[in-house]
A and B are shown apart, each in its own frame.
Chain A
């Protein structure tokens, strides 16, 4: 299990990335690219040629690939913040629920059903050690069975 870095008491929470100064520094250009998608003409230009649009931004190769792949977890690990990344989802016509669900590894219908049934329980999801060394898949299945009748 990873040690808790000094000054980051939230580092022992599983499946969660807190958007602190370190993440923000790493993700500055990625997040500012996302902000540009708040203008309709930029959304059109991005969708017409995603690679060319991304190359206008001072983002890392990995960040650009994560955007092209629409890999939300990867974007977040590379400094993206959900409220910025949501602009990409909006450009694709996706809802917040589809975006959030896509990060859990659950099929869309299953995620929606979990929310209707009361959401993911905090039990078993508070500490990294409860996820068996960070095995997301197991934790998801565990929580899935817990939250369904």
Chain B
């Protein structure tokens, strides 16, 4: 037996969603439609909790300042503290890692010519913890509690240009799948891609939302991911806003599914799809794609 990818999960990771959960405001009119959109996925997740999550996100000038800017960084530590991003740390548990699988993936992916940065000390920000809260709910016990499973943080630079291309991200996802497949322990692994969808947080054009682009991206992610991988950076910025570039991270998770693997496979099954505008400044998109049985 070996480890295997069973599903991929995609979600925006807006900090205001975390604040709404942390401050108990999820039943306010503004937030109800958003959290309702995740109910089915939370029920599915409760029945399909993986052994490990490989979670692709970006650090928002939290662990990485301008001193070091790794394009792709894999967290190999046993534990990742929750960062204070300026509002104080979110009241959620530290994230427990899976150092053995993470080190194995680092080894196998680097030997496939992707030059990852290995990180043993990493405070994780809303980019990683908001998706966990959305899909699992808030763990009992607050900071003293625990998340339902270990998580391997995988941080992608989408803050300072040049950021990686969509094509590179998709190919990296394929390499990650090969690495997971070769880990000699029977583990159910999910790969999550987070960030997006359309949003722009800066300048006079702030507030841009493009639901047409976003929904076409969701369609493409399901059925034509190779085509999506050809979208150049400038098109994300122009069409989906400057911070819409985060969507390249979804391609890493998508690349890890069997239909894009060397042996080929059937298209994934769509367990859930949701789209909502707005959460604060951002269009929220969410997909759960399961490997065919």
Q: What is the interface of chain A, defined by CB distance below 8 A to chain B?
A: 9-10, 13-21, 24, 28, 31-32, 34-35, 37-40, 43, 72-73, 76, 81-84, 86-87, 89-91, 95-97, 99-101, 103-105, 111, 114-116, 118-122, 125-127, 136, 139-140
**Which chain A residue shows the least CB distance to B233?**
A10
| In contact, B66 and A136 (Cβ under 8 angstroms) | no
In the complex, are the beta carbons of A40 and B204 less than 8 A apart? no
**Binary per-residue interface labels of chain B (203-214) against chain A in the complex, 1 for a CB within 8 Å, 0 otherwise:** 111111111010
Q: Which residues of A contact B200 (CB under 8 A)?
A: 16, 100, 120
Whether A10 contacts B16 by the Cβ 8 Å rule is no
A-B contact pairs, 20 of them (CB 8 A): A13-B234, A20-B160, A31-B65, A35-B61, A35-B65, A38-B83, A38-B84, A38-B86, A39-B84, A76-B202, A86-B60, A95-B280, A96-B15, A100-B202, A100-B281, A116-B30, A119-B281, A120-B205, A122-B208, A136-B204
Number of residues in B with C-beta < 8 Å to the partner? 47
Which residues of B lie under 8 Å from residue A34 when comparing CB positions? 61
Would you call B202 and A24 a contact (CB within 8 A)? no
Q: For A126, what are the chain B residues with a Cβ–Cβ distance below 8 Å?
A: 238-239
Q: Is the CB of A115 within 8 A of B15?
A: no
B83 touches A119 (CB 8 A): no
Given contacts A16-B242, A32-B65, A90-B87, contact A100 B201 (CB under 8 A): yes
Residues 211-227 of B contacting A (Cβ, < 8 Å): 211, 213
A13 close to B237 (CB less than 8 A): yes
Add 8 more A-B contacts to A15-B205, A20-B160, A90-B86 (CB < 8 A).
A14-B205, A16-B237, A17-B202, A19-B161, A84-B65, A119-B209, A120-B207, A122-B239
Inter-chain contacts of A72 with B (CB < 8 A):
202
Could you tell me if A100 and B159 are in contact, using CB atoms closer than 8 angstroms? Answer: no
**A21-B160, A32-B66 given; A13·B280 CB < 8 A:** no
B277 on the interface (CB 8 Å rule)? yes
Q: Is the CB of B159 within 8 A of A83?
A: yes
- Residues of chain B within 8 A (CB-CB) of A115 are 207, 209, 277-278, 280-281
Give A78 to B101 CA distance when docked, in angstroms: 43
Q: A14-B205, A31-B66, A136-B204 are in contact. Are A97 and B60 (CB under 8 A)?
A: no
Indicate if the CB atoms of A38 and B207 lie closer than 8 Å: no
Cβ contact within 8 Å between A40 and B84: yes
How far is A117 from B234 in the complex, measured between Cα atoms in Å? 26
Shortest distance from the beta carbon of B62 to any chain A beta carbon, whole Å: 7
B62/A100 in contact, CB under 8 A: no
Within 8 Å of chain A (Cβ to Cβ): is B283? Answer: yes
Q: Which of B65, B87, B203, B239 has the most CB of A within 10 A?
A: B203
Q: Give complex CA distance A35, B65 in Å.
A: 7
The answer to whether residues A24 and B207 also contact, given A96-B16, A96-B280, A99-B201 and a CB cut-off of 8 A, is no
Residue numbers in B under 8 Å from A18 (CB-CB) = 161, 237, 242
Report Cα–Cα, A105/B205, bound state, in Å: 10
- The residue of chain A having its C-beta at the shortest distance from the C-beta of B15 within the complex is A96
Q: In the complex the two chains form, what is the Cα distance from A116 to B30 in whole Å?
A: 9
| A96 CA / B259 CA spacing, docked (Å) | 38
Nearest 3 CB-CB pairings of A with B: A119-B209, A90-B86, A15-B205
Contact A118-B202, Cβ < 8 Å, known A13-B238, A16-B242, A35-B61: no
Q: Are B66 and A28 in contact (CB under 8 A)?
A: yes
A47 to B201, CA, bound (A): 24
B207's contact among A31, A40, A101, by CB below 8 Å, is which?
Answer: A101
How near does chain A come to B31, taking the closest CB pair, in angstroms?
12
Q: Which B1-45 residues sit within 8 Å CB-CB of chain A?
A: 15-16, 19, 30
Give the contacting residue for A10; candidates B159, B211, B234, B281; CB below 8 A. B234
Would A114 and B207 count as touching, CB distance under 8 A? yes
- B85 close to A (CB within 8 Å): yes
Contact call A96/B65, Cβ cutoff below 8 A: no
Asked if A96 and B201 make an inter-chain contact with CB atoms under 8 angstroms apart, the answer reads yes
The answer to whether B203 and A81 touch across the interface, beta carbons within 8 angstroms, is no
- Given A18-B161, A34-B61, A86-B86, A103-B202 contact (CB < 8 Å): yes
